[in-house]
Structure 1
């Protein structure tokens, strides 16, 4: 016998069985990984260092996307392909061809009937049928009062009138064509009343009157014609106006002959011109309500697939929607915002995946702004925030570390070879020389062996490479570091601008995270020199300015070193040209090329001054200019400094590696 089930257990089981699973209906992928802001920030940082503003760099990122995310350009390309497909696969002859086919069929059936009839009236009717105008519209109008003898012929002719009425309504009201197929006189009367009431409602709206009650009455009476279920007059106008504008664009796209045909045929819609007159009033009211829509536009269809009037209006509306989406994707208009992209329209035109891509871009832009990666500088310009610079510095230093070690596994762990324990441990990697943390290493081996069933008391512990942990160390002595970076225009011309910035960012990040007692100053020198923070340097644009004022930069370097008299002075100079400018006693910059002897003398004098201060001087020479190489080699020997001639891609690793070697020597 089973045990009785408690009330609580019974309720739990009942609630459990009420759970249900539904098919995924689109929208954001619930299993998608979170946004990778680091990847996005790296892309933005690269553009900023190349000379773009942060705002422009963000726009470029959204435009081109990332390796893992489609951008606006690709979505816009899909929109344009969809637009071209509509134009190149279809034409506007559908309704005209269908009417011609019905007319030919009616005339043929009538001729068959007349051939069987032997009275004189039949002969007269044969003459009338035989002399119909070649124009389809003129023939349809001429047969308006004709007394058909063949029931089949009369039925086919009535189909023409019915088709015209339904097509003209379909142009303005989606879905009406199929709903009114086989409509009787009562249905036509309901349409007439709806159009009359609609014109009254639109007239009140255009006069600025309150239409709340009128709209409610209208929808209660005629709501079956509006399956989209608008909530107010504005929404009703919005949906009708776009379709009405599409109908007008269809008319504008016809040839003059086709327009004349349509004007004549429209008078036979439902056998009366009343429908066309009512629709013309609706179009006029809608154009007055939404003059901003493209009522004068036209399209050039060149395909082989014919479309009826209603289908063509739908195609026109699709094309208008695609044009709006394309403009929103371009983001090239004043006040552009990704929120302008209509995700529902994008899903209709390209599918849910495109809407998901656009929504992801919107989320990415919002996340970058919300998480404080941008800020306004004192000049009001947008710039990368300190938070963004820290993240960018981490990525840049990781690249530099990989070049230094030849291994990506070690990331930015560059402190481990320099001295005193930090209190932290990490897994050993090839090339490490730090002492082992024996307790952690043995513990790792025991835990691993126990998990694999290899360990038991009394048996020796077997070590594997993965068990080894080492003690991280770092130097505790202080250094005053000056990084002098050449910002003359030749750095940009020779492709050294961005590597120079990456070098400064990597060194700044290393010092700020691993050697916090060190004091770094970055000095940029072109025609003149100035101390600059790393965020400002990242966004610095190249200037069309000649001059390499190393003399001024060395004066500023001495000022920084004097602020820390007990720190080890370190001077790192990155340049691609001989000194061609110096600072006059008046404070003005003097420039002359080729280098003036006075410029050379003042520059060498300040290097001598730094040497007497005990500074460790390293000059990173970029380029293969023999004159520059000779000059730098001579002054390096004079002041006991080092010369490094890295390639552009290895500049960051050379500077960071030299700094680390210097920190090692301080021990």
Structure 2
């Protein structure tokens, strides 16, 4: 599995359960939430790298996972039983993805991104300014105003005038709505490269990042293959690549539909893909597909959607997980049509690129 490195453990800072849990969460992401497969991989790794101990075996670990609420018994359609992830495990995977991708960031106060425009906003800052006619009484910082009155008049003649009053400055806390598009076409696992797992990890990390750092922002996640559909955050760990072509137009249409429903004016689309657009859903219900080269008909539709997003004020940032020159040329033309941005990235740097662009887009869109 790409991205994993193992060696015999020599440290003592974590319990055996905690160490195994970190590995197990990663395996669950690679197995798309298949607990039995993840356990099989864990046993194989344990045989080679001695992850467990004589006093704490993999079987002990599995029992603790059930006791601690990470796994539950599930009855399948055939009447058999098996193990499945719980909501607690899904949250733990999101948190691990956040630490992997954004671990170098320090937490900040909720909704801390300010616009340049001061005035009646929705949250206080630590800055003060003199009272002005029209300021509400709720904005007055009474302790600081009393200090000013004492400094100006002394304790023997403590009177408060308008000149002593200061108010908490307020700022608008702008909201940004993001749609993240994830390509689940078959090419995401071609040539022995696992490209879907890094895409899932970034989606989970971005969602957790927005929820904890910018809780007023929104993130919708959609996947696209032959068609496009919206998924819930809880479904991301279970995503699998299908026998699909790449219907980029369907993904963009759905993304625009979702963003039209958002009342705020700051909107953007992130698109993670590694393949060329190769499919369209025609008005008569049929599919037009072409897997050979770049089809002018399909590509033209993509350019049209990119321009439509530009006219609607929706920038598209494309993260191309491929190095093919002819695909890069398509992305360049697509980006020009949208006036957006594009990154050509390998699998390891995807998270950092997404983070940088989210922060930069946020600053650019709301300032």
TM-score normalised to the size of structure 2? 0.70
CA distance in 1, matches of 2:88, 2:196: 23
Alignment of 1:515-664 (within 5 A): 515-543=214-242, 545-594=243-292, 595-664=294-363
Would you say 1:60 and 2:38 are equivalent positions? no
CA contact (8 A) 1:608 1:639 kept: yes
Greater share of helix: 1
Match for residue 499 of structure 1 among 198, 202, 215? 198
Q: Structure 1 residues 475, 371: CA separation in 2 closer, same or farther (over 3 Å shift)?
A: farther
Q: CA deviation at 1:664?
A: 2.2
Question: What is the alpha-carbon root mean square deviation over aligned residues?
Answer: 3.6
Where structure 1 has 5 or more consecutive residues not aligned to the other structure, the ranges are 1-31, 72-352, 403-407, 426-473
Q: Structure 1 residues 374, 560: CA separation in 2 closer, same or farther (over 3 Å shift)?
A: farther
The alignment partner of 2:262 has SS state of coil
CA distance in 2, matches of 1:654, 1:475: 27
Q: Deviations over 1:473-493 (max 9, x none)?
A: x98321111111111122212
Would you say 1:47 and 2:58 are equivalent positions? no
Q: CA deviation at 1:541?
A: 2.6
- The aligned counterpart of 2:93 is 392
Larger RCO, structures 1/2 (Cα 8 Å, 6+ apart): 2
CA contact (8 A) 1:508 1:520 kept: yes
CA distance in 2, matches of 1:637, 1:37: 50
The alignment partner of 2:271 has SS state of strand
- The aligned counterpart of 1:482 is 179
Alignment of 1:298-377 (within 5 A): 354=54, 356-358=55-57, 361-374=58-71
Alignment of 1:249-264 (within 5 A): none
CA distance in 1, matches of 2:195, 2:266: 29
The alignment partner of 1:498 has SS state of helix
The alignment partner of 1:357 has SS state of coil
Q: Deviations over 1:605-640 (max 9, x none)?
A: 222222222112111122111111111111211211
Please say which of residues 36-45 and 611-620 is displaced more in the overlay: 36-45
Q: Structure 1 residues 386, 625: CA separation in 2 closer, same or farther (over 3 Å shift)?
A: same
CA contact (8 A) 1:611 1:639 kept: yes
Where structure 2 has 5 or more consecutive residues not aligned to the other structure, the ranges are 1-11, 116-121, 127-170
The alignment partner of 2:246 has SS state of coil
The alignment partner of 1:485 has SS state of strand
Q: Deviations over 1:331-384 (max 9, x none)?
A: xxxxxxxxxxxxxxxxxxxxxx73x233xx444222322333246899878653
Please say which of residues 374-383 and 641-650 is displaced more in the overlay: 374-383
- The aligned counterpart of 1:255 is none
Q: Structure 1 residues 614, 416: CA separation in 2 closer, same or farther (over 3 Å shift)?
A: closer
Greater share of strand: 2
CA distance in 2, matches of 1:588, 1:548: 15
The alignment partner of 2:245 has SS state of coil
The alignment partner of 1:571 has SS state of strand
The alignment partner of 1:614 has SS state of coil
Q: Structure 1 residues 663, 57: CA separation in 2 closer, same or farther (over 3 Å shift)?
A: same
Count of aligned residue pairs for this structure pair: 298
CA contact (8 A) 1:475 1:664 kept: no
Q: Deviations over 1:147-187 (max 9, x none)?
A: xxxxxxxxxxxxxxxxxxxxxxxxxxxxxxxxxxxxxxxxx
The alignment partner of 1:648 has SS state of coil
CA distance in 1, matches of 2:206, 2:76: 26
Q: Structure 1 residues 398, 370: CA separation in 2 closer, same or farther (over 3 Å shift)?
A: same
CA contact (8 A) 2:72 2:85 kept: yes
CA distance in 2, matches of 1:364, 1:522: 33
Q: Structure 1 residues 550, 389: CA separation in 2 closer, same or farther (over 3 Å shift)?
A: same
CA distance in 2, matches of 1:541, 1:642: 27
TM-score normalised to the size of structure 1? 0.40
CA contact (8 A) 2:189 2:196 kept: yes
Q: CA deviation at 1:558?
A: 1.3
Q: CA deviation at 1:549?
A: 0.7
The alignment partner of 2:348 has SS state of helix
Q: CA deviation at 1:513?
A: 1.7
CA contact (8 A) 1:393 1:505 kept: yes
CA distance in 2, matches of 1:646, 1:383: 34
Q: CA deviation at 1:500?
A: 1.2
Q: Structure 1 residues 68, 513: CA separation in 2 closer, same or farther (over 3 Å shift)?
A: farther
Q: Deviations over 1:394-441 (max 9, x none)?
A: 222222225xxxxx5x4666989844999999xxxxxxxxxxxxxxxx
CA contact (8 A) 2:184 2:244 kept: no
